[in-house]
Every structure is written in C-alpha cells, then in structure tokens.
Amino acid sequence: MASESLFPTRQPGGEGILPSQEIRDLVSTGIISATKDIIDEQIQPASIDLRLSDRAYRIRASFLPGKSTTVLNKARSSEMLEQTLDISDATLLDPGAIYLIPAMETLALPGDVYGIANPKSTTGRLDIFTRLITEHGADFERVPEGYSGRLYIEVVSQTFPIIVRAGMRLNQLRFARGSAGAQADSALRQLDSNSLFIADEEVGQATVDRGVRITVDLQGNGMGIVAYQAKKGGPPIDLAKIDHYEIRDFWVPIERSPNLQLILEPSEFYILVSKQRLRVPPDRAAEMLPYDLSTQEFRAHYAGFFDPGFGYGANGEIPGTKAVLEVRASGVPILLEDDQFVGRLNYFDLAQVPDKIYGGPIGSSYQQQGLTLAKQFRKATQYAPRDASTVSAGSAAGRTVVQPASPEVQHDEDDDVVRHALHANPNTEEFISAKERRD
C-alpha cells in the first residue's frame, strides 16, 4: 500500500483505445517507465513510440519465449545468440539479419489494460519488419492485460542496410481497455460518408464490407509514376537523416502502363498508394488489415495504425489523405490491376477524444501525402506526368523514356511535405514502365 501512495489516483476513461492524455497518465503514474525519461514527442494521439535501448542481439531465428521462460533466457538456452552489439552510437544492421533489441520502456499494466503494437509508418516504408515480444509471451505484437516486464523489438531490414542508434523509434504501442473491437459495418454505414473518405467521380462512395475496402491506384491521377520498387545492394540508410537521400539511388520508379496493370515480382518490395483519400475522425482510431492472407498472394501494408485526425484534421479541414501501401508478393509473380482490392481499414472507438491529433503541429510526416516514400528520402522527387512533349525518341526503340520536366515546387499545408519535380536522366535504365515489367 505504501508504494501505491507514491502515485496519484488514476482516473480511467471508458472502454476503447486509450488516447494521448491517458497514455500520459500511464507515464506519470509509473505504469509506463523507461531507462531514460519519456518525452512528450513519443506520445502520439493514440499510441506511444517505443525506443531502442543501447544493446542489440543478432539471433539465428525469430522466436517467442513461451510461458515458461524469458526472452533472453530462451535465446541463450536455444543457442540462437550470434552477436551482441553496442548501438549507443551509429551501428549498421545488415539486410536479412534478425536482431532482438530491448526497448527502453517497461510496463506494469493494470488488469484492465492491454496493448497492441505495430511498426511506425516510416519503418514500413523502408521495408523494415518489426515485431514486439514480451517476457513469457506467446504472441507477437500483443501485450496481455496486467503485463509487467520488459519489451523487446525484433528488427529485420528486408531490403536496405540500415544505420540505427539507441533512442530511435521504429514501432509504436497502442493501449486499450475493455471491448476495443473493430466497429461493425452497421455503425460505419450510419456515419456521414465523408467521415470515412472523400468520395469523387473516380472512387465513388465508401464500400463497407468488414471495414472500408481499400483499392490500389495504378492510374496515378495525372502523375506518370504509380509505384516505386526497392533496389537491392545499395548503400546503407542512416535512419537519423531526414530529407537526405536521392530516390534514384534506392528506388526504381514505375510508370503507369496503358492498361493500368503491374506485375509484382516475387521477393520484391513496392510502394504504391490507395485510390481512396481516407479520413479518421478525432474520436476514432483505425488500422489497415492486409489483403486476405489465406490467399497467400501478397502482403500489403506492414505499418497498419492510422491515428485520430489522419486525413481529417481537428474539424474536418483536411480533405482526406491517401494511404501508402507497402507491398510484397509471395512466391509467384502476381498481376495487380487498377482499383484492385488490397486491404480493409477498420475503425475503433477511443476511450476519450485525444488532446492531440495527427498532423503538422505535432510533427506528423504524412498528413497530406500522395505516393510518398519514407521521410529519409528527398521529398522533392515527384516525377512529372508523361505527355506527348515528355516522351523521347527512345520510345520508338521499344523503351519509354521521360525527359526532364521543368522544376516545380508544390507546398502542402503540412510543412513536412514539399515536392519538386525530379530531373530524370533519360540515359539511365532506372525509369521503367509497368508495361515493360510484363515483357
């Protein structure tokens, strides 16, 4: 009882996803603690960012500890520890290698609160696979009610070598109380249609079927580029460097094809975008669920959390925001067509309306995005739409080449989104069309 008196009495809200102010209360009462002070920038509208500690373990295989042991004891007893790394300063993580990194944060949850984890948006866009593991855990990405102990982050950079250091935030943890299931279709249909996404002539009204159905945009809405494919074997990406790297050094831009199709090659990673401009009102949170994995065709969207206010703002002033899709095919090539179903957006009630919402004022990077890569790449690099004046004579030889467009700068309301037209080099082989991928 004496220890309980050290903390103020917690006044929980209702059932649902916990908002920013309740997460802040969990910090102030010691329910969430850390080896280094938790800063307010970690607390998002409906989640908290977890930070890497200063030690990383390279392991032979992914695993769960199970109820009978702890994470590190399982790793040692199974002889899976290959290397211990000090990541207090910049450290290279090899692509394809599996790393187990303790988080700075520790939990002592009350019996009515549980957690759900997901990669952050930037993490997913870099093809970095992360999963949360708890002591004695039997599930990835889940923290059971009443959990007390450390948190561990499994990190696999699947394409790029990456440079990390202690304190970086690769994933985020949501907390929920009581019943926090996805809202039923009947409840979604009762909402004003513009609450879910902004309809237009191309996409029409929201299609509600076990959530809002999301489809892929291979038309480009006037832009010549509809996707990016990650290059392998490139230089390392330092995650601390923002708006730094040239896109062409790490990505192959894919041009819109005449028949609006794209073949996804096995083991390749793509960035695409949804047709719909999605909205998440401030009194709700959302999560993107991937394409039905029972088909085992492709995986879309690793980073699934959408915060309150995404594409909406505080009072509906944002006219929807497209969802960037991180896509990886499985073992066979997959034909993807314009407006093809790729996932569902499920909506969840919040325990309370958060005291901060997604957007520029809190440092959110992707409020009014289009086909946007991770923030480490120069946001300049939107390719100009192709028309008769931009196609060179090279296309007569069977290859589409886009000549440089005049540079333009577009300023969105979100101060983190500034785009320039990229001067593509017509002598390189980096600019290819979706049609050529099929040949």
DSSP, res 331: S
Q: Is the pLDDT of residue 164 over 60?
A: yes
Domain range for 104? 4-177
Indicate the residue among 177, 204, 229 that finishes a domain.
177
- Rounded distance between C-alpha atoms, residue 31 and residue 200, angstroms: 45
CATH number at residue 288: 2.70.40.10
Instruction: Kindly report, residue by residue over 182-195, the tens digit of the pLDDT.
Output: 888 888 888 766 77
Q: Which CA distances in Å does 227 have to 130, 219, 263, 297, 370?
A: 23, 10, 11, 18, 11
Question: In terms of domains, do 247 and 352 share one?
Answer: yes
pLDDT at res. 159:
95
As a whole-number percent, the residues of the chain with pLDDT over 90 amount to 57
Greater confidence (433 vs 27) lies with 27
Question: In terms of domains, do 197 and 90 share one?
Answer: no
Q: With bands split at pLDDT 50, 70 and 90, how would you rate the model's confidence at 30? A: very high
Exposure class string for 194-227: b at 16+ Cβ within 10 A, else e: bbbbbeeeebeebebeebbebbbbbebeebbbbb
Whose tokens are 């800063």? That residue is 39
282 near 328, Cβ under 8 Å? no
Average pLDDT of the chain, as a whole number: 81
Q: Is the pLDDT of residue 386 over 60?
A: no
Instruction: Kindly report, residue by residue over 274-329, the tens digit of the pLDDT.
Output: 988 889 999 999 998 865 555 545 665 565 789 999 989 888 888 888 899 999 88
Question: In terms of domains, do 102 and 232 share one?
Answer: no
DSSP state string for 55-96: EEEEESS-----TTS-HHHHHHHTT-EEEEEE-SS-EEE-TT
- Rounded distance between C-alpha atoms, residue 362 and residue 172, angstroms: 16
Q: Is the pLDDT of residue 96 over 90?
A: yes
pLDDT at res. 70:
96
250-254 average pLDDT score = 96
170-187 average pLDDT score = 89
Instruction: Kindly report, residue by residue over 97-148, the tens digit of the pLDDT.
Output: 999 999 999 999 999 999 999 999 899 999 999 999 999 999 999 999 999 9
Strongest mean pLDDT among 1-5, 342-346, 411-415? 342-346
- Rounded distance between C-alpha atoms, residue 67 and residue 241, angstroms: 40
Q: Is the pLDDT of residue 202 over 70?
A: no
Indicate the residue among 160, 177, 194 that finishes a domain.
177
Exposure class string for 349-370: b at 16+ Cβ within 10 A, else e: bbbbbbebbbbbebebbbbbbb
- Rounded distance between C-alpha atoms, residue 352 and residue 11, angstroms: 12
Whose tokens are 């802040």? That residue is 24
Beta bridge partners of 50: 171
Strongest mean pLDDT among 81-85, 209-213, 333-337? 81-85
Question: In terms of domains, do 192 and 287 share one?
Answer: yes
250-257 average pLDDT score = 95
Q: Is the backbone of residue 313 left (phi > 0), alpha (psi -120 to 50) or beta?
A: left
Instruction: Kindly report, residue by residue over 44-53, the tens digit of the pLDDT.
Output: 999 999 999 9
Candidates 339, 54, 374; CA nearest to 220 is: 339
Question: In terms of domains, do 171 and 238 share one?
Answer: no
Instruction: Kindly report, residue by residue over 401-410, the tens digit of the pLDDT.
Output: 333 333 333 3
Beta bridge partners of 69: none
Question: In terms of domains, do 328 and 389 share one?
Answer: yes
E runs forming strands in 178-224? 197-198, 212-215
- Rounded distance between C-alpha atoms, residue 169 and residue 156, angstroms: 14
pLDDT at res. 290:
67
Q: Is the pLDDT of residue 343 over 90?
A: no
pLDDT at res. 204:
65
Number of other CB atoms surrounding residue 296 within 10 Å = 11
91-93 vs 162-164, strand pairing mode: antiparallel
Domains of the chain: total: 2
Report residue 388: phi and psi, to 5°. Answer: -60, -30
E runs forming strands in 224-279? 225-230, 237-238, 251-255, 261-264, 269-278
Q: With bands split at pLDDT 50, 70 and 90, how would you rate the model's confidence at 14? A: confident
Indicate the residue among 156, 177, 198 that finishes a domain.
177
Question: In terms of domains, do 285 and 215 share one?
Answer: yes
Question: In terms of domains, do 150 and 193 share one?
Answer: no
Greater confidence (180 vs 372) lies with 372
- Rounded distance between C-alpha atoms, residue 75 and residue 62, angstroms: 10
Question: In terms of domains, do 194 and 291 share one?
Answer: yes
Q: Is the pLDDT of residue 163 over 50?
A: yes
pLDDT at res. 150:
98
Question: In terms of domains, do 115 and 197 share one?
Answer: no
Question: In terms of domains, do 107 and 202 share one?
Answer: no
Q: With bands split at pLDDT 50, 70 and 90, how would you rate the model's confidence at 381? A: low
Question: In terms of domains, do 166 and 218 share one?
Answer: no
pLDDT at res. 221:
65
131 near 304, Cβ under 8 Å? no
Instruction: Kindly report, residue by residue over 216-248, the tens digit of the pLDDT.
Output: 999 986 668 999 999 999 899 999 999 999 999
